[in-house]
């Protein structure tokens, strides 16, 4: 029986769930409990980062879960202050120590931090880390087409995933096309646009009524139909279940287009060419 989200194949052959749990803000005992309820309700993809300060909570939920470790896809991210070849090798050890796990399933460069000027060296380390067994799949986050081309040209290795800001206000059509050309899976951060007023937008409310689902489910289904993997964060067990339950209905092409037409651009200070995330 299918539990949770269906899976797709990454460019390295590994399977990857079509929807996961964002964990930014899920810290401490409460955070670990919330991640635990998500796993129990069927989430298999978890998204954390060294900079979230909650790898310990996420790792605890994974270790205490009854779901076998090999069924879970644990993602973490390397911060800007750890860019560099040797630094990346040290950073993964810190992350694995925090998680209390012997490997992560997906490791991402959190931001390109072009001002640091070391994301290519960092990517070279990621390629080697994949061979070390500490990391199963490697990817990036917040990379533009130019950043992607630089790391692919330097190593011949395309990331399995690029996790980027993506929601109906910022559908990222051009970047998604580049990902398709390079065989990179698009993962959507802040897929619900951090709740905001998105869930009251007319095309979303109308589609929710037409399909008998909640507005958040319409938004997450829109991601899935674009071919992007959303990682909505919720600390609430009922909303976690609702967010995962988006594989039993289909939006029409008109509905998808009407939702994409809400486009207005980036919502936060997240221009990858200038954002400083250390
Ligand atoms: N790579 C990067 O640079 C970044 C990565 N991320 C990742 O993406 C994840 C998700 O993004 P995030 O910024 O958290 O924002 P989201 O778009 O996932 O929105 C989360 C907010 O929506 C609420 N919410 C969740 N489900 C529903 C629902 N069904 N109906 C109504 N409200 C709902 C949550 O509240 P409640 O918890 O109470 O349900 C929370 O306030 C992060 O947690 C993180 O893992 C985020 C930003 C940048
Ligand atoms: O949440 C993340 O993954 C980030 O990259 C953060 O920079 C986030 O965007 C934030 O708002 C931190 O204050």
Cβ–Cβ under 8 Å, residues 106 and 129: no
Helix axes 202-211, 215-226, angle to 10 degrees: 100
Q: Outline where the chain has alpha helix (H).
A: 28-40, 55-64, 85-99, 119-132, 145-155, 173-182, 202-211, 215-226, 237-244, 253-260
Q: Which residues of 232-266 are buried (b: 16+ CB within 10 A; e: fewer)?
A: bbbbeeeebbbbbbbeeeebeeebbebbeebeeee
Pocket test for ligand 1, best of 33, 45, 195, 240 (most atoms within 8 A of CB): 195
Give residue 219 CA to ligand 2 midpoint distance, Å.
21
- Closest C-alpha to 58, from 90, 16, 105: 105
Euclidean distance between CA atoms 236 and 124, whole angstroms: 39
Per residue in 146-157, pLDDT (tens digit) is 999 999 999 999
Determine the pLDDT at residue 3. 73
Res 2: pLDDT: 60
**277 C-beta closer than 6 A to ligand 2:** yes
Assess contact for 115 and 84: CB atoms under 8 A. no
The rounded Å distance from CA 24 to ligand 2 centre is: 8
Q: Render pLDDT for 222-271 as a digit per residue (tens, 0 to 9).
A: 999 999 999 999 999 999 999 999 999 999 999 999 999 999 999 988 99
Tell me, in angstroms, the distance from the centre of ligand 1 to residue 32's CA.
16
Q: Which helix (H) or strand (E) holds 16?
A: strand 15-17
Cβ of residue 45 lying under 6 Å from some atom of ligand 2:
no
User: Considering every ligand atom, which ligand is closest to the CA of 165?
Assistant: 1
- Closest among 192, 201, 225, 215 to 21, alpha carbons compared: 192
The pLDDT mean for the chain works out to 97
**Phi and psi at residue 8, to the nearest 5°:** -120, 170
Mean pLDDT, residues 194-215 taken together = 96
Q: Which atom of ligand 1 lies closest to the CA of 47?
A: 45
pLDDT digits (tens, 9 = 90+) for 31-74: 999 999 999 999 999 999 999 999 999 999 999 999 999 999 99
User: What are the angstrom distances between the C-alpha of 251 and each of 32, 96, 198, 207, 259?
Assistant: 34, 40, 17, 8, 10
Tokens of 272: 């990858």
ipTM for the predicted complex: 0.97
* Neighbouring C-beta atoms of residue 17, cutoff 10 Å: 23
pTM: 0.98
221 lines ligand 1 (CB under 6 A): no
């Amino acid at each position: 029986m299918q539990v949770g989200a269906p899976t797709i194949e990454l460019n390295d052959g590994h399977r990857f769930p079509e929807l996961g749990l964002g964990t930014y803000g899920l810290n401490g005992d409460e955070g670990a409990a919330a991640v635990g309820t998500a796993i129990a309700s069927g989430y298999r993809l978890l998204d954390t980062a060294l900079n979230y300060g909650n790898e310990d909570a996420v790792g605890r939920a994974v270790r205490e879960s009854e779901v076998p470790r090999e069924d879970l896809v644990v993602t973490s991210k390397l911060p800007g202050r750890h860019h560099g070849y040797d630094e990346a090798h040290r950073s993964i050890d810190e992350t694995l120590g925090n998680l209390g796990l012997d490997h992560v399933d997906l490791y991402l460069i959190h931001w390109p931090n072009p001002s640091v000027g070391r994301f290519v060296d960092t990517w070279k380390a990621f390629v080697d880390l994949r061979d070390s067994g500490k990391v199963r799949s490697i990817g990036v986050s917040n990379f533009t087409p130019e950043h992607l081309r630089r790391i692919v040209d330097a190593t011949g290795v395309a990331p399995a995933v690029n996790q980027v800001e993506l929601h109906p206000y910022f559908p990222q059509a051009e970047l998604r096309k580049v990902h398709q050309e390079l065989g990179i899976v698009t993962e959507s951060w802040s897929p619900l646009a951090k709740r905001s007023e998105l869930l009251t937008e007319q095309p979303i409310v109308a589609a929710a009524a037409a399909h008998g689902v909640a507005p958040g489910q319409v938004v997450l289904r829109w991601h899935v139909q674009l071919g992007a993997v959303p990682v909505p964060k919720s600390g609430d067990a009922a909303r976690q279940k609702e967010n995962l339950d988006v594989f039993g209905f289909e939006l029409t092409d008109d509905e998808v287009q009407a939702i994409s037409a809400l486009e207005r651009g980036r919502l936060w200070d997240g221009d990858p060419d200038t954002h400083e995330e250390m």
